[in-house]
Amino acid sequence: MDETGRYEQILGTVRSPQKAEALTHARRNVLVFDGTAPGAMVGPALRGGVSHVVLSIAPDETGDPVLRHHRADLDAAGALEWLCYYSTVGVYGDFDGAWIDESAPLVPRNMRSDYRVIAEQQWRDYAAARGVPLTILRLAGIYGPGRSSFDKLREGNARRIIKAGQVFNRIHVEDIARVTALAAEKRLEGTFNMADDEPAPPQDVIAHAAGLIGLPVPPDMPFETAEMTPMQRSFYRDNKRVSNRAIKQALGIEMLFPNYRAGLAQVLENEP
């Protein structure tokens, strides 16, 4: 970060050379790291004066791939000032629709979330050993341009799966980006939920999106008989309302898109 508070250079990683080439053509600075081996250019980038590192790569049964392959490079990053790890609200498990905050016990209901719990602690331990502040953001369901109910409706694969009492939180990509930037400026430390203000039934989101673009509302499909992959079905095992009060208080903000209606309106307004 320079004297004006701006970052002199921002680098990101992608999994494939093809994706890196496409983003480079779009004037993005990207490196290749697929998590299975050290990234050829990632190590030199970390050692070359990096000050802030944001981690979003999913862990596996052997732990966090960044720590596995690039811990020594992070150790050598003498200018490192702050770390951020994107986790998931899936670490909480199921609370039968009740409101929860960061004090809730972690009782994940699938292996993906189990791995996240382990990775969170790995990064806490690493940050403590380095003496660097760490922000952990537990993300709700991410949506935004190119990743919303509009896309599913237009592709013809949107489904209104009905499970009585089921709700999910969501979070718009612009809220994630804004909170991350503010947390970086403040060198925020701690674990926070990153979710919208209004958890809602998934079928309501689909119906609202369909109305906005003038497409038919898909018919109701009972959860018990709906065909789903094991991963899709696993999401419905968790039912909770996730509070975002802590991150809003820590940064003194409100969400840009506090509910799915505001978020979908923004996505539609900014479509080409």
DSSP 117: H
CA 141 to each of CA 98, 122, 170, 195: distance values in angstroms, whole numbers, following the listed order: 17, 23, 4, 8
The domains located in the chain, with CATH, are 81-269 (3.40.50.720)
CB 158 within 8 A of CB 219: no
Q: What is the distance between the alpha carbons of residues 126 and 136, in angstroms, rounded to a whole number? A: 13
- pLDDT per residue rounded down to tens, the chain (272 residues): 555 555 578 899 999 999 888 887 666 789 999 999 999 999 999 999 899 999 999 999 989 999 999 999 999 999 999 999 999 999 999 999 999 999 999 999 999 999 999 999 999 999 999 999 999 999 999 999 999 999 999 999 999 999 999 999 999 999 999 999 999 999 999 999 999 999 999 999 999 999 999 999 999 999 999 999 999 999 999 999 999 999 999 999 999 999 999 999 999 999 98
pTM value is 0.94
C-alpha dihedral (215, 220, 226, 232), degrees to nearest 10: 60
The overall longest dimension of the chain from CA atoms, in Å, is 59
